[in-house]
């Protein structure tokens, strides 16, 4: 398996720039397209100007067995997933979208804590490769979220005939920050986004921001 850099540039200047582990260029693009947020962002644009996929080299120390772990919904906790490890027979449980913050496991009697921790890290790598949406805190997904929200803010501002400076005066958010938000380049707080949305009468689901 190799690591690829995928850059998708749109006619309006927006772009998706992400790194992904994949078997080939086609697989790399498919992995990006399988991300729900990436798909929503792409479909919100009229035309793709250019797609560039570059191989960065071999991706080492990753679990390349897509069948190693078995995922199933937890029967005891809503919104949680159970992962059974076929290799070690360990069982992990974690909240969907918050793997790093919530993962729980109990080492088997014949397993050292170090081996158990290694299996947990391998589960994280496996999820990143095959089920990235389960991890949460994903850098690419966060960037796509910022770009999607920024595009919606820009569209609403233009529909109301407001300039960037006029929106800044009305919302109390600086001109520089609004510019960065609209370009998807500013990891802005929910409070600032709420100010912009209130000023523009815009409703955006910020739960994944």
Same domain, 187 and 155: yes
The larger pLDDT score, comparing residue 12 to residue 104, is at 104
For the chain, percent of residues with pLDDT exceeding 70: 80
Distances 75 to 69, 72, 82 between C-alpha atoms, Å: 18, 9, 9
**What does the buried/exposed string (b/e) look like for 184-208 if buried means 16 or more CB atoms within 10 Å of the residue's CB?**
bebebeeebbebbbebbebebeeee
Q: Are 130 and 171 in contact (CB under 8 A)?
A: no
Burial of 123 (0-12, 13-18, 19+ CB in 10 A): buried
Question: Are 128 and 145 part of one and the same domain?
Answer: no
Asked, for residue 205, whether it belongs to a domain, the answer is no
Q: What is the mean pLDDT of residues 120-134?
A: 78
Query: Are 106 and 144 members of one domain?
Result: no
What residues make up the domain containing 100?
A: 69-132
Tell which of 88, 114, 132 closes a domain. 132
Does residue 208 belong to any structural domain of this protein?
Answer: no
Residue 28: is it exposed, middle or buried by C-beta count within 10 angstroms (0-12/13-18/19+)?
buried
How many domains does the chain fold into?
Answer: 3
Last residue of a domain, one of 109, 132, 155: 132
Whether residue 149 is contained in a domain is answered as yes
Q: What is the 3-state secondary structure (H, E, C) of 25-93?
A: HHHHHHHHHCCHHHHHHHHCCCCEEEEEEEEEEECCCCCCCCCCEEEEECCCCCCEEEEEECCCCCEEE
Model pLDDT for residues 6-33, shown as the tens digit of each residue? 888 888 778 888 777 777 888 778 777 7
* Tens-place pLDDT, residues 39-61: 777 777 767 788 888 888 776 55
pTM of the complete model? 0.41
pLDDT per position as a tens digit, 56-89: 877 655 555 778 899 998 888 888 899 999 999 9
Given 132, 167, 186, the domain boundary residue is 132
Largest separation between any pair of C-alpha atoms in the chain: 68
DSSP category for residue 134 = G
- What CATH code is carried by the domain that includes residue 186? 1.10.260.40
Asked whether residue 207 is domain-assigned, the answer is: no
> What would the mean pLDDT of 150-156 be, rounded to a whole number?
85
């Amino acid at each position: 398996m190799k690591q690829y850099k995928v850059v998708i540039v749109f006619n309006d200047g927006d772009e998706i720039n992400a790194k992904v582990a994949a078997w080939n260029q086609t697989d790399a693009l498919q992995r990006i397209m399988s991300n729900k947020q990436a798909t929503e962002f792409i479909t919100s644009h009229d035309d793709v100007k250019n797609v560039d996929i570059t191989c960065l080299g071999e991706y080492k120390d990753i679990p390349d067995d897509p069948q190693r772990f078995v995922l199933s919904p937890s029967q005891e906790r809503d919104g949680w997933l159970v992962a059974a490890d076929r290799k070690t027979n360990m069982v992990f449980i974690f909240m969907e979208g918050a793997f790093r913050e919530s993962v729980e496991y109990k080492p088997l009697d014949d397993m050292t804590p170090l081996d158990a921790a290694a299996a947990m890290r391998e589960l994280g790598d496996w999820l990143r490769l095959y089920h990235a949406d389960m991890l949460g805190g994903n850098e690419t997904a966060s960037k796509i979220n910022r770009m999607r929200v920024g595009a919606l803010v820009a569209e609403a501002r233009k529909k109301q005939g407001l300039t960037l400076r006029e929106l800044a005066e009305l919302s109390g958010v600086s001109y520089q920050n609004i510019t960065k938000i609209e370009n998807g380049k500013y990891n802005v707080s929910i409070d600032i986004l709420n100010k912009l949305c209130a000023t523009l009468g815009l409703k955006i689901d910020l739960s994944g921001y």
